[in-house]
Structure 1
Amino acid sequence: PARPGRYLDVEATLAALAPVVTHLAPAEVELVVREIAPPIADAEPARAEAEMLLAGPLTLVLTDPREGDPGPWILPPEQLATMLVVRAEGEELHVALDEDALRAYLEELVPTLAIEPVDARFHFNDGTGQLEPISPSQEGRALDVEASLERIVQELAAGNRYVPLVVQAVPPRYPDTATAEELGIIELVAEGDSYFIGSPSGRDHNIRLAASKFDGLVIAPGETFSFNHYLGEVSAEAGYDESYITAGEQLAVEVGGGICQVSTTAFRAAFWGGYPIVERWYHHHRVGYYELMGAGVGMDATVYSPHVDFKFVNDRSYPLLIETEVEEAAHRLVFRFYSTDDGRRVEKEGPVISDETEPGPPIYQLDEELAPETVIQWQSAVNGLTATVERRVYDAAGNLLYHDTFVSKYAPRRAAYHYGPGYEPPGE
């Protein structure tokens, strides 16, 4: 219970002493003591509030959970006790939840509950000039921390210990109801292609799978397109097969071999579309597939997630729709870009070839599993060289927008052979 305090009233005591001191005789003077009333006379409201807040666990739930969602989140009384604060209001003490502590708890749930919205994917119908959805859009979700905090405080005050969190729907940028006119996706503005004739089955499969990751994408104005971002995981679990990749001086077998056919084709579409290219890497060696059908050397783009990427910027005022297609008979991969043509024009110069170098002597490797004296060539020799390609992009009025120089320095590659027991390689 509350008890009053006391203090010595110095001034009153001195006043009582004054007449006694002047007589210079022994005397008793009673000290003047004042009583101090306790500032908080009644702590009962605080006790009742604390008991109510700690009467049981607090359970937080999602009203419309999706498959795989976490929860519920149960805060036992012991945890709630660490979030209580005591405040004086007039002559009474009150206990409440510390909103800063509860807010910090809710903010930890934000990434757990966040779901990114999914844009629709489209094809452009050249006959009707309309967009046709090929995969639907999906709303995202975000935890509303402040609204959830307010609801928890209100519900606890009302004696409710089972509280639904407040989540907000996050709309996609491009819903499946979007039209060509609304987005300004009304015509073909660029195209890039490459050929993969003669590709092994694993490489052929990987090209088709990787190309499908980009079909129907809509890239926002000002957005930097990242090939690796939209490509996603490259693994056997993601459906990719093993095939040859360029690795140093020799070819190697790895899951995902052939994906660079897709990045090369995307690069060519961005090149001819006049889009600013902010990241492009050439291969260590020349790759014959990328020079088929007169494509010329120096027009490839290698990728190796997550370190080596291909990126360009959609610098137009309208979204950019990407379509991919594999033409079966020709083994031709095509990237088509649809948007609104702003009249820009692209000029290419080159490739200018320099620093051509011949490869060294062939490489021979023993393979105990081959038949005796058998020799198999598995890698052909390729000259090294430097290829320089220039691009100039002009606007509709003929003003120069961009002048790019793409320099590709390809190393020579030696021929390589596997041989069985009993064979003696030349020079040994």
Structure 2
Amino acid sequence: MLLLCLFSTMIFQSCRTDNTIYEQEKGEQSYFSIFNNPNSNTSRKGNHYQEAFRTLYYSYLDAHPENAPDFSNKNILQVDFRFASQEIIDDDGKVYVLFPVVLNENVVEVVMASVNKELSEVGFHVLVKNDDVKSVIDTFSKKMKKDKTGTYSGPDSNIEEVLIIVPPKEKEPAALVEIELPPTGNCEIFNICGGSGGDFSLNPPDSNPCVKINELLTDYDFSLKLANLDKPDVFGLNHEMGHAAFFQNGSTHYTSMSNYSGTTKLIPPSGSLFFGFIHTHQNFDSDGNPTIKMFSPADLDTFLSLCATMHIIRVKLAEAYAMVVTSQGNYIIKYNGTASWTNPGPGTMEWWNKWYKDEMRAIQNADKSFDQDKVEKAFLKFLKERVGIDGIELYSVDKNSGDTKKLSLDANNNLNTPIPCQ
């Protein structure tokens, strides 16, 4: 069972300092292959180290739920993994990344995550707040404020890199800071000695997607969330609405996803790992133009990152889902395969977005509206020709009966007869 977002008694970091270094077994030294193979000269592109540190953080909490904080409580210090510094390399080969620590959505501290040259030891600690660190806090704060105004796009599932011009020279851990962080240690502590880092080869889910979709749609709490979103007045709003699902104390809970007036992006919850989300697409954008009533490339990116993270921390992929609720139809995507992929970076997303927009523009009617069957076909073609990950499946959900059907294309890119879920 995925153990996430559990309540925990906060422990002073200073009280844990003496116990943060775990003894490693003598003999052959294990390493974190999530970063890189130490015998390989290949380099990673994009924000690989940032994503790896985030994954290790949640992997540790999944293995040690007694240390997990209450992620829904904004009145406690939390690492905001939506933002990170560039990778910084010391003279001794140690790689570290800086992350903002927030309290009530304000940056107040900085966490340094580091891995040694041999990739055998990872550590997280809050930095002493000297002038250099105060400058880093100011840089993160400015970036986050710009993001909230809509000047910069929301983070979705990606970590946005914030360039730190002058990295801190002193990297001493701060004392008396109330925040839960993983201890310094080897890969066994994080329960993640193996794997390939940014590339993911997944085992197939152990349950039929139709079974999991039916369980989802008949769940009382989920059905209430769906009913509250599937309304004409909601589709008429000038911003999207949605909820993210996470496990807590053995049951599923939901948290609202942030949104801003005049925007079309929902921001996944900061500091919490989730396994599914449901959200709306509005009838019109901020300029009054009809919107595309289907998953966007950004929605798919969020779903893929969700699947990859769930795989790394060894939880059931059958639980993963994304749902979009629109006035023209409701849809769910599930994963049901063994495909390998690398999470899309900025270049891939730009390529996806261009293809998606061009394809949708080509099927747009003279009045700028869209025929929904053509939208379904275009999205499936997008999955097939641009995304190319076998196992991503699209399902339509009838608004009245809740009946679910799998949608697919034939060899000529025409819609097959939908297959009802039994």
Same fold (TM over 0.5): no
TM-score, normalised with respect to structure 1: 0.25
TM-score, normalised with respect to structure 2: 0.25
Compare relative contact order (CA 8 Å, sep 6+) and give the higher one, 1 or 2.
2
Greater strand fraction, Structure 1 or Structure 2:
1
